[in-house]
Structure 1
Amino acid sequence: MALQDPIPVTYTVVFPHGCYIADEVEPVKDFDASSNGRFVQARDKQTAELVWQVAVVDGDPTLKPAQKTVAVKILAPVQPVPPRPMPGLPFTPVEFNGITITPYVNAASPGRPAYSIKIREMYAPRQTAQPAQHKASAGRDAA
């Protein structure tokens, strides 16, 4: 069985350690339609929506440096606005919703699979609960 359509996945499957915006959101060029200095923005083949792109840094500490940055394509009628930068952080944390991946064979690395990541929504990470205090420190505080 060959998969023909993009595969829906969750954010935590693709970025279990989180990810961070590394560049500006930019329109993706339709290389077939653009010519003679005239820029034509790409449209998604399934939805016909405009395609935008942003580079993100994967927070996985086990990745090699060359594997850390990945381009994420965003399907949206207008240019998406990334979350506001967080004071004191060099990169802006981000989460995505409506994620699909499309596997393909990378011509630059024959035999190695690659994935195109498309998303529908980009937003600031949700607040998470604070970690519970360590029992040893809780015992010290009670004494």
Structure 2
Amino acid sequence: MALQTAIPVSFEAYFPRGAFMVGEVEPVVKWSDDGERQGQDLDKNTGHPLWQVRVIDADPDARKGQNEVTVKISSITEPSAPPEAQGLPFRPVFFEGLSVTPYVKEGQGRPRVAFSLRAREMKPAPKQRSNE
């Protein structure tokens, strides 16, 4: 039987070296079957609007093309972006209630397994201790 729900995963397990938000928080667009924009998409479980952020995986061993992911957040209000890191365009970020949904991505070449990431909440990453 195929999985019917998302798989909960800890932030530390998915992003062992941390993660950085790039860009801005954006609404997830809902599209009709005929390709027309229909406003903002809603979470099927909560009914709350869906937001998305682009995230860079800080793991230096992440394979080319797999170090940037999109995380969707279900929230009544637009999530606040964490502050930038030392004037750089990167924002250290932490996700509460992270879950992964695997799916088969069709396209050019062979089908492959891809992952959709969802989070309950986005927060600034905790400060690193100086002795780590």
Q: Which TM-score band (shorter chain)?
A: 0.7 to 0.9
**Retained in 2: the 8 A contact 1:28–1:52?**
yes
What does residue 87 of structure 1 align with?
A: 86
**Retained in 1: the 8 A contact 2:98–2:118?**
yes
Number of equivalent positions: 131
Match for 1:28: what amino acid?
A: V
**Retained in 2: the 8 A contact 1:50–1:75?**
yes
What does residue 115 of structure 2 align with?
A: 115
Structure 2 stretches of 5 or more lacking a match? Answer: none
Q: How does 1:17-36 map onto structure 2 within 5 Å?
A: 17-32=17-32
What does residue 136 of structure 1 align with?
A: none
The percent identity for this pair of structures is 40
> Runs of 4 or more off by more than 2 Å in structure 1?
33-36, 108-111, 127-130
Structure with the greater alpha carbon radius of gyration = 1
Higher helix share: 1
Cα separation, 2, equivalents of 1:110 and 1:29: 27
Higher strand share: 2
How far has the Cα of 1:23 moved from its partner?
Answer: 1.1
Structure 1 stretches of 5 or more lacking a match? Answer: 133-143
RMSD: 2.1
Cα separation, 2, equivalents of 1:66 and 1:35: 27
What does residue 4 of structure 1 align with?
A: 4
Tell me the TM-score normalized by structure 2: 0.88
Aligned partner of residue 65 in structure 2, secondary structure:
helix
